[in-house]
Amino acid sequence: MSDTTVQANQAEREAYYARVGKTEHLSPLWTTTLVPPLPHLYVKAQPHLWDFDNEMRALLLEAGGLITPKEANRRVLNLVNPGFNGQPKILESLYAGLQMILPGECAPAHKHTPSALRFIMEGKGAWTAVSGERSFMEPGDFIITPSMTWHDHGHDGDGPFFWMDGLDIPIVGCFGAMFFEAYPQDRAPQTREPGDSNARYGANMRPVTGSWDKPESPIFHYPYSRSREALETLRKNGELDPYDGVKLEYIDPTRGGAAMPTISAFLQLLPKGFRTETYRTTENIVFSPVEGIGKIVVGEPGAEKEIAFKPRDIFAVPCWVPFRLEADSEACLFSYSDRVSQQKLGLWRDVRGNA
Ligand code: 1HN
């Protein structure tokens, strides 16, 4: 079979495109690059690091003298990726923010369709309440606030308290399914004692009666001490993956999958001097080191950038950009990504090595 030829010349085609263009609601597929062979045309985000100790912390402290969490709803600085022209996203699919609460303040109760996680940076004595249960937060703790669960934050201790917020806002936004509701009072009622959900589901056991039917983990607070200890044991046992060092995922104990339906989260240990192999994945990843210093080498072969990291920095690795991590001292890194979303949609892939 041969394609029949058409007689039209370029000028006729251009005239046609101009007429179609005027309709404003039609365009020829063949003049657009909707599905390029590789992700690069779609990935606007750049690899980037935000410095907590030397930049964000002071700016957020300053906001403490300008606005209360009640006025602001949340006192948060958005981490705006330099590739997004001011749009408040850290990566194509993920939002990141840095939040501060001061002693005595109230971040009032609300709920929304985006799923949220918190990773604690600094402070003592602040708590968060999720679905009626309060929990005191410590640096390195991982906390989830699943879609449409009531949550509010308070602080009964001394000094400023900081954490990173990670949300799936761009994912929810691409479906349009955005909903938000403020609770009629500042605080949602406490319906369960502190520690209740960890007692029910956090001891490698579960209640014999009833069943957990929500799409997220019934555990909402994963203390750093437990996760760190697990990594330490595995490191001592010599269990090192060339791409990850020792890396564990925060899971929903009732199903074994990610703690929330859309966002995956991990804690990873790299022994001093360890250098991971170069790795590339469709996953969009946000890292925040808890302990240790090192660097990330990120970018296409020949155009790599070296970015030094230290505790409480936040750095973003976009889809399909090769990277490797180097630990100058023993380093423990938290990370979250859209892996579970991509896997559910059958999109996730990775390349181990420089292929
Ligand atoms: C939110 O609800 C919180 O509850 C933090 O602490 C950051 C960023 C965007 C939209 C909602 C919170 C947020 C957020």
Give the pLDDT confidence of 149-198 residue by residue, as tens digits: 999 999 999 999 999 999 999 999 999 999 999 999 999 999 999 999 99
Q: What is the pLDDT of residue 216?
A: 98
HEC string for 158-174: CCCEEEEEEECHHHHHH
Compute the distance from residue 74 Cα to the ligand 1 centre, in Å: 6
Compute the distance from residue 267 Cα to the ligand 1 centre, in Å: 22
CA–CA gap between residue 343 and residue 186 (Å, rounded): 37
Mutate to test the pocket of ligand 1, among 60, 68, 73, 74 (most ligand atoms within 8 A of CB): 74
Q: What is the pLDDT of residue 7?
A: 79
8 A C-beta contact, residue 253 and residue 199: no
Phi, psi of 58 (to 5 degrees): -65, -40
Q: Which of 342, 338, 336, 311 is nearest to 143 (CA)?
A: 336
Q: What is the pLDDT of residue 4?
A: 73
- pLDDT confidence tier of residue 251, bands split at 50, 70 and 90: very high
Residue extents of the structural domains in the chain: 39-206+215-352
Please provide the average confidence, as pLDDT, over all residues in the chain.
96
- pLDDT confidence tier of residue 18, bands split at 50, 70 and 90: very high
Instruction: Report whether pLDDT(1) > 70.
Output: no
CA–CA gap between residue 231 and residue 226 (Å, rounded): 9
Compute the distance from residue 293 Cα to the ligand 1 centre, in Å: 29
Round to the nearest angstrom and report the end-to-end CA distance of the chain. 37
Compute the distance from residue 149 Cα to the ligand 1 centre, in Å: 12
Give the pLDDT confidence of 85-122 residue by residue, as tens digits: 999 999 999 999 999 999 999 999 999 999 999 999 99
Q: What is the pLDDT of residue 2?
A: 58
Strand order from edge to edge, sheet including 95-101: 76-78, 95-101, 161-167, 116-122, 142-145, 221-222
Instruction: Report whether pLDDT(354) > 70.
Output: no
Compute the distance from residue 332 Cα to the ligand 1 centre, in Å: 25
Strand order from edge to edge, sheet including 305-309: 305-309, 294-298, 323-327, 279-281, 350-352
Lining ligand 1 with CB less than 6 A are 74, 76, 97, 99, 107, 116, 151, 165, 167
Does this model's pTM top 0.85? My answer is yes
Compute the distance from residue 113 Cα to the ligand 1 centre, in Å: 11
CA–CA gap between residue 163 and residue 299 (Å, rounded): 28
Give the pLDDT confidence of 185-194 residue by residue, as tens digits: 999 999 999 9
**pLDDT over 90 for what percent of the chain?**
95
Residue nearest to atom 12 of ligand 1 (CA): 74
- pLDDT confidence tier of residue 200, bands split at 50, 70 and 90: very high
Q: What is the pLDDT of residue 198?
A: 97
**In one letter, which amino acid is 309?**
F
Mutate to test the pocket of ligand 1, among 98, 162, 165 (most ligand atoms within 8 A of CB): 165
Residue nearest to atom 13 of ligand 1 (CA): 165
Residue nearest to atom 14 of ligand 1 (CA): 74
Give the pLDDT confidence of 252-309 residue by residue, as tens digits: 999 999 999 999 999 999 999 999 999 999 999 999 999 999 999 999 999 999 999 9
Instruction: Report whether pLDDT(218) > 80.
Output: yes
Compute the distance from residue 138 Cα to the ligand 1 centre, in Å: 19
Q: Could you tell me the CATH superfamily of domain 39-206+215-352? A: Jelly Rolls (2.60.120.10)
Rg (C-alpha) for the chain, rounded Å, is 23
In the block, residue with structure tokens 């949609």: 345
